[in-house]
Amino acid sequence: MSIHLETDCVIAGGGPAGLMLGLLLARAGVDVVVVEKHADFLRDFRGDTIHPSTQNILDELGLLDDFHARPHADTDRVTLSWRGTEITLADFTRLPGRTRVLSFMPQWDFLDLLADAADRHPNFLLIRSTKIERVIRSGDRIVGVAGTGTDGDVEIRARLVVGADGRDSTLREAAGVDPIVIATSMDVLWFRLPKTPGDRHPFVQAGDGLLITIDRGDFFQVAHVIGAGTWAGDDRLSRMKERVARISPPVSDAVDALVLEDVHLLRVRLERLRRWYTDGLLFIGDAAHAMSPAGGVGINLAIQDAVAAARLLAPILVRGETPRPSDLRRVQRRRSWPTRVTQFVQRRIQGPLLSTGSRRMPVPLRLLGRFGVLSRATGRLVGLGVRPERVGVESLRRGQSVARRTGTRSTGLGQMSRRSASSSEMP
Ligand SMILES: Cc1cc2nc3c(=O)[nH]c(=O)nc-3n(C[C@H](O)[C@H](O)[C@H](O)COP(=O)(O)OP(=O)(O)OC[C@H]3O[C@@H](n4cnc5c(N)ncnc54)[C@H](O)[C@@H]3O)c2cc1C
């Protein structure tokens, strides 16, 4: 059974960028289909940090209470323990706005929140278990996407195609767009450690590489940040165990029990597209700019791209018009500067964070520890980002009333189930 749809906007990828854009467009009255290759949002290899700027956006959308009702933990500062000495890396206590905490929420819960909110709009559809494989062209213009779901071929045509399919974007390849690769000096080892009641570990520990420990309730998800390319050689596991024991002696017994298969290597990539759009197609989030985990700001940037894209493009789509390349360029113009600045800062902080060998704390960390004003400045940079975005709920509502007045709706979604569906559930 194959599926053919026609809609206003089709988004490849139901990550933070794709779901937030889907939600905002649907709120504005635009028909939108989000296609996600996985059946659910469960995955380990994702960040869990929801920053104040993202929470401010949820607040604007009336979703902050729902966010607070889901499993999460808050902190008003990020501290780093350097061989036992604690310093504040980022202090959020003086941020402007209502939210002055960074929250840790498993990404699947956060994505569920966005999907549930979007699902309340009849013009939103999430198709799961469907992988987008190619773009559909009409002359030079991209007019849709095609892929495979559990029950066969899927073809969706739209006035706007958005690639929000992450750092290994299939759409980027299908459209023939190559990113600029920026050198990065880190890789991440990812593993789980058992947790017994009462166990607590500092969130960030440093001294010989970094150890980031995320409390997931019944286990710890650990990211061990190491120098790029150093996970090599037959003795790599024993070297890792020695390093971790130096950074955090309390976890060394649990780490000793790990075998090679328990440790997953994630190569960190720092990339960005020179041009985030072609005629008919826009990239946002990691598909436009893969971020390093340094500072844990990738979700934030992805969400802010989505907010900017919705604010600039929803009014056009809702009038029944097709966004021109110059409209898509406005999204890139708005978001590329904060991306470049953030990537520049990520590159600069990788060295001090990774510094190995020396027993002395690197100078930037010592300065942060000594001057509170610096940790408040990093709190602002990490917590709000370089260019925070606002939804401008009023402008999106105005879009809704234009849609009602002009009746500019495409036909595809009217025949579809309102609920998120896997392709097998669809007619
Ligand atoms: C180890 C690591 C740790 C990180 N930690 C943090 C952190 O703590 N905080 C933080 O803010 N950021 C963190 N990040 C970065 C963050 O995860 C990303 O920047 C963010 O998830 C980007 O969101 P996105 O929506 O653009 O892409 P993604 O989250 O990658 O979402 C893309 C979605 O598209 C789907 N998809 C892919 N291809 C297709 C296809 N062909 N068809 C259909 N669907 C497809 C994927 O399944 C996925 O759901 C980390 C990154 C790494 C690598």
Residue 309, ligand 1, Cβ within 6 A: no
CA dist 314 and 60 (Å) reads 17
Q: Which atom of ligand 1 is nearest to the CA of 38?
A: 47
Mutation test of ligand 1: which of 33, 46, 135, 172 has the most ligand atoms closer than 8 Å to its C-beta? 46
| DSSP string for residues in 35-87 | E-SSSSS--SSS--EE-HHHHHHHHHTT-HHHHHHSS-EEESEEEEEETTEEE
Mutation test of ligand 1: which of 161, 165, 284 has the most ligand atoms closer than 8 Å to its C-beta? 165
Cα-to-centroid distance, 287 and ligand 1 (Å): 9
Cα-to-centroid distance, 35 and ligand 1 (Å): 14
Residue in this structure with the two tokens 């597209």, named with its chain if needed: 273
**Is 296 in contact with 349 (CB distance < 8 Å)?**
no
Strands 77-82 and 204-206: parallel
Cα-to-centroid distance, 311 and ligand 1 (Å): 22
Residue 22, ligand 1, Cβ within 6 A: no
Cα-to-centroid distance, 196 and ligand 1 (Å): 30
Residue in this structure with the two tokens 């980002």, named with its chain if needed: 385
pLDDT (0 to 100) of residue 44 = 53
pLDDT (0 to 100) of residue 2 = 85
**Is 148 in contact with 3 (CB distance < 8 Å)?**
no
User: Which CATH architecture group holds 186-267?
Assistant: 2-Layer Sandwich (3.30)
The correct answer on CATH 3.50.50.60 for the domain covering 3-47+107-182+270-353+388-425 is yes
Reported pTM: 0.90
Mutation test of ligand 1: which of 10, 23, 37, 187 has the most ligand atoms closer than 8 Å to its C-beta? 37
- pLDDT averaged over 10-residue windows placed end to end, the chain, 427 residues: 92 97 97 94 72 96 96 89 84 92 92 97 96 96 96 95 96 91 86 88 83 86 89 93 89 93 90 96 97 85 97 97 98 97 86 66 82 91 92 62 46 40 38
260, with CB counted inside 10 A (0-12, 13-18, 19+), is exposed
Positive or negative torsion for Cα 343, 22, 392, 274? positive
pLDDT (0 to 100) of residue 111 = 95
Beta-strand ranges (E) seen in 164-269 are: 179-182, 186-194, 204-206, 210-215, 219-227, 264-267
pLDDT (0 to 100) of residue 388 = 92
Q: Where are the domains of the chain?
A: 3-47+107-182+270-353+388-425, 186-267
Cβ contacts of residue 290 below 8 Å, gap of 6+?
A: 167, 179, 269, 270, 271, 272
Residue 118, ligand 1, Cβ within 6 A: no
Cα-to-centroid distance, 155 and ligand 1 (Å): 24
